[in-house]
Structure 1
Amino acid sequence: MKKTAKQNMFGFLKRLIPKDAKKEEKRRLLNSVDLSDVCVINVETLRCAVCFNIYTGVPRTLTCGHSFCQQCIEGVIQEERDDVPNPNGRLSLHCPICRKKVQYHKIVLNYTLKNILDSINELSQEEEEVRRAYDNTLDASNEQLRQRCTDLERLNNDLNKRIGEMRHKEYYNYVAIAFFIIIYIIMNTLLGN
């Protein structure tokens, strides 16, 4: 296909405009994140707004979009039922976050959030296993290093002992040589050579 004059002009102008290094870096990082299997999640987004713990069981999502633990949302329903009796018999509650009125029968199970929590738990267990294996390897390595240090210390002590013995022998050799030189000098002077 032939490029039109407009496309050629755009390409020409695009080359004249300096590239924004920050945008290029951001684009590169986004591409690397898209290609990776790792996703970073803020733990605070996985906490129930009522109990402040990470969601337990299958979280429940209200029509306003907020999610809560099943026990927590049932506790909110019970509190509202005790505070304000509902004459028409339909259970409703106010969202603990946005205070929007929600019908109980419209609360849905959030399996997507449950799957995310399960995936995080699996990753945590895998990380724990890897950490334990690393710790075991590290302990074994540390034990090997301690043993090696002990062996080297023993070798160092043996070498120091041998050096001391050699110096001791060397000293006696010097004394013996000095003694023989003195005897030689005395004998030469007495015998008058």
Structure 2
Amino acid sequence: MKQNMKQNMFGFFRKFIPKDEKKAEKKRILKNLDDADVCVVDVETLRCAVCLNIFQGTPQALSCGHSFCLECIEEVAHTEVMTDPREPSRNSFHCPICRKRVNMNKVVQNYALKNILDSINELSKEEEKSRKAYDNTLDASNEQLRAKCIELEKAADRLKKDIKDMRQREYYNYVAITFFVIIYIILSTMFGN
């Protein structure tokens, strides 16, 4: 009962507390993102800052928060140790982005970024399958259209031939009628009607 009363009082006072619009907007965006089946990711965020390619393998996260390909970060660490052998700690190097000193032992795999890359790869495979299925359907449709066009061309050729035959018969009929009319006129003039 006391708990209910406290909740009711808190709800009553909550009306008078100003709402943080930025927080509400952020919650709305996160809810939309959480409800979405697919979201758009800027490809630049998936590139290693060293090699400028999409992350290879499992990206490695430094203690400063930046991520790189394993080979790239090993090369950066090796190059830095080689260029300044007097460095007090041979097991540390500077982050290529923020220049903070990072211990190589504290480099961890960024599984969240790897999962994003894997899901994008999966989506692109699905898209490729869909595109191939669409292309196959399109090819089949084009083949059906070609067959239909050939069939229609043959039908048009038959119609042209039939029309030509009809015109030829019509011509012969006109000639025959004209011939009979001339014969009739000649005979009626000869025998007087």
- Short-chain TM bin: 0.7 to 0.9
Does residue 124 (structure 1) correspond to residue 127 (structure 2)? The answer is no
How many angstroms apart in 2 are the aligned matches of 1:171 and 1:165? 10
State percent identity of aligned pairs: 61
Q: How far is 1:35 from its partner? A: 3.8
Q: Which residue number corresponds to residue 37 of structure 1? A: 37
Partner of 2:55 in structure 1? 55
Q: CA, structure 1 residues 142+190, in 2 after alignment: closer, same or farther (shift >3 Å)?
A: same
The answer as to 2:66 corresponding to 1:99 is no
Partner letter of residue 170 of structure 2? E
User: What whole-Å deviation, never above 9, does each CA across 1:68-103 have from its counterpart, x for those lacking one?
Assistant: 000000000110110112565551111111211111
1:145-160 to 2 correspondences below 5 Å: 145-160=145-160
The change in CA–CA distance for 1:140 and 1:169 in structure 2 (over 3 A counts) is same
* In structure 1, distance between residues paired with 2:78 and 2:143: 58
Are the structure 2 counterparts of residues 91 and 143 from structure 1 closer, same or farther at C-alpha, using a change threshold of 3 Å? same
Task: Please give the TM-score of this superposition, normalised by the length of structure 1.
Answer: 0.81
Partner of 1:21 in structure 2?
A: none
Corresponding residue of 2:182: 182
- Deviations 1:126-148, CA, capped at 9 Å, x for gaps: 11011111111111110110111
Structure 1 runs (4+) deviating above 4 angstroms are 28-34, 86-90
- CA 1:76–1:33: 2 relative to 1, 3 Å: closer
Q: Which runs of 5+ in 1 are unaligned?
A: 8-27
Q: Distance in 1 between matches of 2:145 and 2:78?
A: 62
Aligned residues: 169
Matched-pair contact (CA < 8 Å) for 1:55–1:69: yes
TM-score of the aligned structures, taking structure 2 as reference length: 0.81
1:54–1:41 distance in 2 versus 1, CA, 3 Å: same
Task: Give structure 2 stretches of 5+ with no counterpart.
Answer: 1-7, 16-27
Q: Tell me, in whole angstroms, the C-alpha distance in 2 between the residues paired with 1:107 and 1:60.
A: 6
